Every structure is written in C-alpha cells, then in structure tokens.
Amino acid sequence: MSEKILVIGESRDGVLRNVTFEAIGAAKKINSSAEIVGVLCGNDNLNSQAKEMIYYGADRVVTVTNEKLATYTSDGYGQAVLAVMEEESPDAIVMGHTAVGKDLTPKLASKLESGLISDAVDINLVGDQVVFTRPIYSGKAFENKIITEGLVFATIRPNNIKALDRDDSRSGEVQEKSVDISDLRTVIKEVLRKASEGVDLSEAKVVVAGGRGVKSADGFKPLYELADVLGGAVGASRGACDADYCDYSLQIGQTGKVVTPDLYIAVGISGAIQHLAGMSNSKVIVAINKDPEANIFNVADYGIVGDLFEVIPILIEEIKSLKVNA
C-alpha cells in the first residue's frame, strides 16, 4: 500500500481545474491513510491554489515557480515535476487525464522507467491490491488493471472519481521549491486563444451537444441557451464541426474530447459509433431527434422524437419555470 502519493495539479487562467480535486479523491481511494502531496507549477504566486488543494484533501503542497513555466511545455513541466519526485520519492502518482496529463505523464513514466495506467474511471481495493478500471474498445468494454510492483502511476478521467468535500478548516504546509529549467526544445512565443465563456466542456456536469440536425451555426443558439439555463457546456459531433456550424474545439468523439457528464443531451445527432465513443459513459443520456430509427436512441436513457427547434424552446421554458418555483 502506498505511503506517499503525489498529485500533480493543473490550472487554467490561475484557477485549479476540478480534476485536480478529483485526483486527490483518487489518491485517497488508493490509500486513505497515505500522505497526499500536491505539486503545482507556474510562474506566479501559487499559494492560493496550493491552499485550495489542501482544503480538498492534500496534506501539503510543493510549488515550483519559474518564468519558463508560465506556459505549459512538456520539457519545462517535466523537469519541474521530476525534481519534486526525486526529492519526495512517492509510492504513487495521480494526475487528471486531460490534454496536459495525456502529454506529460507518458514522458514522466518513460523517464522513471515506470508503467502508467491511463484514463482510469474507477479505483477499488481488492484485498491489498489497488484495482484500476479503464474503458477499452471505444467504451464498449472495461478492463481492470493492477500494478504488481514498483511505482503506482495513473491518470483519471474527469467527472468519474468523486472529489472530497471542501474543508476550509484544513491546514497544511506549502513548500516553495526552486528548480533550474534548462535546455527547452520548445519555446512558447505567443498564445492565441479563442474566447470561450461558461463551463469547460471536458469537466462539465451537463453537456448539450449538437449534430448535423442543428442545420447551421445559428441553429446552435438554442443549444447555448439550454446549456446556460442548465449550467452546462455546449459540444458537437464531428459532422457539425465539419459543416462549419461550430469550432472543432467543441468536438466530442473518438477524434475529439471524451466527456462523462451527469447529463448529456444529444440534439440532432444520429449516433455514429465515433461519436458514441466520446460520450456513451455519460450517466444520463437524453436524445432529441426527428428520426425514430436514429442510432442515438439505442444508447439514450430518454428519447424525444421531434423537431429540435420546437422541443428545445419548450425545455428551456420548463426549466426556467422550475427554477422560478423552486
């Protein structure tokens, strides 16, 4: 059983991503009595983020600040995290299965000559063994994995492992570590971002996704309104992205983002296998489609056969009235 577990935190625009807290929860599932040590990298003061990790269950946090860590690069963050690992000698390491996690953790595992269990959706103890569950075959099946010896290293899929309750009374040490970042093969000169509003798609609890049935970019407007009243995010099928109805950053599927929200509303989506690979593990799936034979209804928990441009406004009004009367 692990005695010290390192949790690699990840932030966006100075705010910790929810999967960081879920990773702490995963660490507690690996060993509830282990010391949880958070790791944060950046170029600004990371004390407030470190305290957040402590409130969510970390026992102490190591922060590494360097001007070369202002923007993520695998070389820079790899050097910083490896320096912390060498000093801490953890028995296990956990990070979110995000774009950064998927890029960084294989490189770390290679440097450490360690195995890596990626995209875990559940963790259980069977006797003295830690069993990780991960999806395979585009989510059609699951496999259980154990690490028989050496470092336990895993990434977890967002929205699958519950974070611990926030406890503002918790306290822990925040240690600042200086690391020399050198020989970077990649230097970020400028970052151009598309303006985005609302909830992050990969971590949203509610996702409203549109397909070719939305018919146009304007057809996505009701989806954004529905997502707004539900406190969710908007996604899309590849067909909608290919048709220029929306940006590819919204694409969900085998070649896009994989999401596992509490509620997934598929609007005008036929249900191609490539799309199902990115959302079929959602807890509740609602499909809205004019075609009663659409494949999406085979995976949906609830189906509405009808014109989305008639159904969506009704749903919005009903949800608004429920909020008013609540």
Please indicate, yes or no, whether residues 167 and 228 belong to a single structural domain of this protein.
no
Report residue 216 as tokens: 């146009």
Residue 307: how many other CB atoms lie within 10 Å: 13
Output the pTM of the full model: 0.84
182 lies in a domain?
Answer: no
| 164 phi and psi angles, rounded to 5 deg | -70, 160
Phi, psi dihedral angles at 169 (to 5 degrees): -85, -10
Can you list the residues of the chain whose pLDDT is less than 70?
1-2, 193-198, 326
How many domains would you assign to the chain?
2
Angle at the Cα of 277 from the Cα atoms of 271 and 283, rounded to 5 degrees: 85
Q: Which of 5, 288, 15 shows the shortest CA–CA distance to 153?
A: 5
192 is a domain residue: no
- Residue 196: its pLDDT value, please? 55
Question: Alpha helices of 265-307 — where are they, by DSSP H?
Answer: 273-276
Same structural domain, 24 and 172: yes
d(CA 259, CA 203): 7
Query: Do 170 and 210 lie in a common domain?
Result: no
Residues 268 and 125 in one domain: no
The pair of structure tokens assigned to 137 is 């075959």
pLDDT of residue 2: 59
CATH of residue 263: 3.40.50.1220
Give the CATH number for residue 44: 3.40.50.620
Q: Give the amino acid at 87.
A: E
CA distance 246 to 189: 28
Q: Is residue 189 part of a domain?
A: no
> Which residues span the domain enclosing 205?
201-325
Query: pLDDT at position 193, please?
Result: 67
DSSP summary character for residue 74: H
Give 129-194 as a DSSP string: EEEEEEEETTTTEEEEE---SS-EEEEE-TTTSPPPPP-TT---EEEEE-------S---------
Residues 168 and 207 placed together within one structural domain of the fold: no
**Helix residue spans in 94-138 (DSSP H):** 99-112
Q: Are residues 140 and 251 in the same domain?
A: no
β-strands 60-65, 35-42: how paired? parallel
Name the residue among 191, 239, 218, 181 with its Cα closest to residue 308: 218
Whole-angstrom Cα distance, residue 210 to residue 245?
9
